[in-house]
Chain A
Amino acid sequence: MLQRKMVVLIGIMVLFSMILSACTTVAPAAPAAPAAEGGEASWWRTAAQSANCEGVTIRGVSESTPPSNFAKEVLGPAFEAETGIKVELETTSWDQMYSKAINDMQANTGIYDFVYIEQDIIYSYLANNYLTNMTKLIADNPNLASPDFDLSKFTSFIDNFKDANGDVFGIPMEAFIKVYLYRMDLFNDPAIQEAFKAQYGYDLAPATTHQQYQDIADFFTQYGADNGLELWGTTVQGNTGHSSSFYEFFETIAPSFGVYNWGINMDNWKATVENGGEMNSDKAKEALAFWVGLLADAPPEATASTWDEVAASFAAGRAAQGWVYGENAAWIATNPEKSKVVGNVGVALPPVSDGVMADAESGAGYIGYYDGGAFGLPVSSKNPLCTLLWMQYIGQESVQADWAVAGSRIVMESTYDDPKVQEVNAKTDNYYTLMREEGPLFRGAPPFPFHAAMVNTVQPFIWKALSGEITPEDALDQAAAAADAELVNLGYGQ
């Protein structure tokens, strides 16, 4: 009897799944793009037709962040309506995105027509000749060169995606700086200001030196404890199992102490001080000790925090100050559904050691991280011309403003002046103004083709320092030695 029941149950399941699979394989017909009204077809439509792209589907992969989601949900359908080319943008986790893009380009399988290139991985991709030269592609196909697309309108961020000849290999789609956020409500509270001054002897203001940062962090942690609040003095992006901690240390903290390019000497490819590098220099050790020391002033989830958790902690009101990526600054400051600190977010330049600001201004160094990414066209793509149209579409001036509002990213000079952006600017304590004016003081990741391998080699030591297993000094000594060995392994330096 029960046997019968099970056979029936299984039979139903099989039938059900057969029906479902039939439904999924019959791909829903793409909505017929409305024919242009009036006799005149748009430039996009004509271009698509001339390249036989109508009805083609192009595929891309990117990280699941607000800017990419905007491209997927708004720009993609709009492009399809204009050209008849369907865009399938897969948004996934940061690790997955990389492994899929790299596997595809490496194996030349042509699965993706455009991939997200973060500013730090461009060098690896260029070294491996994964990407198509966009400048050349446009020059070779003048009939497909959109009049609304102009490479010179982009901010200097696009320089990151150029090769030695100045040819462009990626169309920027997002850029922001990792900035110093602080709680304006706490910093402007008279009682708190008085107490701070009484204890430390100077006025409470956003920190400009590391000592001030430490003082403020200590103060607010104590304040939170004394008043029974879930409040700590600082955020720390200290995840002891994820690359994010490596990045905060080497891209934000270390440079502010004067250690640039991860402490790797780019002339002889060495990291240890003995061989001419700076990874385990005194300045670097000071930086790591400072940063690991801040854990005492950070909320308990700090050692489990990547950039997302740091943003969430700050948005939940758990930190008085912190280093937060610009893409998060906007929603923390304006979205009441996700943030408890709307309207109280202040933005400032990160604190730096002596001499670092001068280095940054002269171009010898930098004070923090200028992050961002572009879409690139793999050489292995099977639809380069159709994808070229898409790249130009997203690079148009007209789409930038709405994109900026949705994803708090700016890659074009003119976007700064757009009224919609100005409005958001006001609500975020002039974050965009800061980015525009002081952006040049920040820099992206150093031009290392071995970026990923190096991160994976060095990060375990950072993790161990964060968990207290080894001291920061030992961590850097060991990390630098491991870095030297790995560099030789990869064929750089002797």
Chain B
Amino acid sequence: MRSNRMGWGLLTPTLVILALVGFLPFIYVLYVGFFNWNAFSNQLGMQWAGVNNYRRLVFDGDFLDSLWRTGLFAFVSVGAELALGFLLAQTLVKSFPGRTIFRTIYVLPLVMAPIAVGATWRLLTIPGFGPIPYYLDKWFGIDFRLATYADQAFATVILMDIWHWTPFVTLTLLAGLTALPKEPLEQAQVDGANRWQVFRHLTIPMMMPVLLTVIFIRLMDALRIVDEVFMLTSGGPGTATQFIGIHIYRVVVPKTDFGYGSAMSLLVLYFTIVLCWLLFIALSQVGKQRE
């Protein structure tokens, strides 16, 4: 057999970079999480705290609220994106004149910087010169003020996320749909199944791997969202849209509570991994049953 040396050699540059700028900070965060370290506390420097930070987290109402909010947001957004994306993907499977143009326009939001997405939506919704508040008031009499009404802010953030990421879901599902083998579907139709039955019992199980991947990716990213939301609402009004990413940022940067923030990040990472794993297992079970 060829020696593994060259193999490892080719892999080394990648591993070195990842170790230095990826692994090292991670270890550091792990380490800091065991200390009480606040730049402005009465006692200067780092004080050993053991698992105290983690204990504090369990009782931290703000933290738990933020987790709940983030979960709700992710669940609703990803769900909506999945439904809408699947619908749109179905319409794109067969070629029709103009399909390329529509698809190109539709994909635009995906390549925009998240912070630019937040900025764009902010411009749309500023009371005083944004068109959305103006026309909502003029045509429907709705007082649209993101900075005052928490549910409006939450809804707008969800809408913005849908606008931003549904194209990703659509394209991925489209790729999956196009790759499906045609025979089983045609066979089923010959056998007299209607479209809904074909969809439910054939298409979805066959698409399960792709669906899982999409859900996994979207969920991961939705739970971590920061730039767009911060730009649009700054986490407000109050803490209505202060998702966990923003919450951690606020603890670490302006509040300079480094120890606590680090512990919080690790806990959130742990939850995310567990959640994605559970989801993965659950859905693959469903997929297996369907077969």
Contacts and interface: CB of A to CB of B under 8 A. Distances in A.
From A455, A457, A490, residue with most partner B Cβ within 10 Å:
A490
Given A241-B233, A241-B234, A303 B148 contact: yes
B239 A463 contact: yes
Interface in A471-485: none
A490 B40 contact: yes
Contact of A490 (B41, B149, B253, B254): B41
Contacts of A455: 254
Given A300-B127, A300-B145, A463-B238, A128 B40 contact: yes
Interface residues of A, number: 41
A464 B128 CA distance: 22
Contacts of B233: 241
Interface stretch (A94-102, A273-281, A342-350): A94-102
Nearest to A456: B255
Nearest to A269: B42
A98 B38 CA distance: 15
B238 A240 contact: yes
A467 B128 CA distance: 18
A406 B80 CA distance: 52
Contacts of B253: 95, 99
A95 B256 CA distance: 12
A469 interface: yes
B240 to A, nearest CB: 7
B133 interface: yes
Contacts of B146: 304
A85 B40 CA distance: 34
Contacts of B250: 456
A57 interface: no
A467 B40 contact: no
B170 to A, nearest CB: 24
A467 B39 contact: no
B256 A240 contact: no
Contacts of B194: none
Interface stretch (A412-420, A427-435, A446-454): A446-454
A299 interface: yes
A300 B40 contact: no
Contact of A449 (B40, B145, B254): B40
Interface residues of B, number: 33
A453 B40 contact: yes
B150 interface: yes
A243 B255 CA distance: 12
A102 B38 contact: no
B150 A469 contact: yes
B254 A95 contact: yes
A467 B143 CA distance: 14
Interface in A282-334: 295, 299-301, 303-304, 313, 318
A460 interface: yes
A452 B254 contact: yes
Given A463-B237, A463-B239, A467-B237, A299 B128 contact: yes
A226 B256 CA distance: 49
B162 to A, nearest CB: 22
A453 B148 contact: no
Chain B interface mostly: loop
A461 to B, nearest CB: 8
B147 A456 contact: no
Contacts of B126: 301, 304
A124 interface: yes
Interface in B224-243: 233-240
B43 interface: yes
A63 to B, nearest CB: 15
Contacts of A467: 147-150, 236-238, 240
A162 interface: no
Contact of A303 (B38, B147, B255): B147
Contact of B236 (A106, A241, A295, A468): A241
A486 to B, nearest CB: 10
Contacts of B236: 239-242, 463, 467
A455 B149 CA distance: 23
A492 interface: yes
A404 interface: no
A301 B128 contact: yes
B115 to A, nearest CB: 13
A466 interface: yes
A492 B42 contact: yes
B234 A453 contact: no
Nearest to A105: B39
B239 A128 contact: no
Nearest to A448: B40
A240 B128 contact: no
B234 A490 contact: no
Interface in B95-111: none
A268 to B, nearest CB: 14
Given A304-B147, A456-B255, 16 more contacts: A128-B44, A239-B234, A239-B236, A240-B236, A243-B254, A300-B133, A301-B126, A301-B128, A450-B42, A452-B40, A453-B257, A457-B255, A464-B237, A466-B237, A467-B236, A467-B237
Interface of A: 95, 98-99, 102, 106, 124, 127-128, 238-243, 295, 299-301, 303-304, 313, 318, 449-453, 455-457, 460, 463-464, 466-469, 489-492
The 7 closest A-B CB pairs, nearest first, are A241-B236, A491-B42, A241-B234, A240-B237, A303-B147, A300-B127, A467-B237
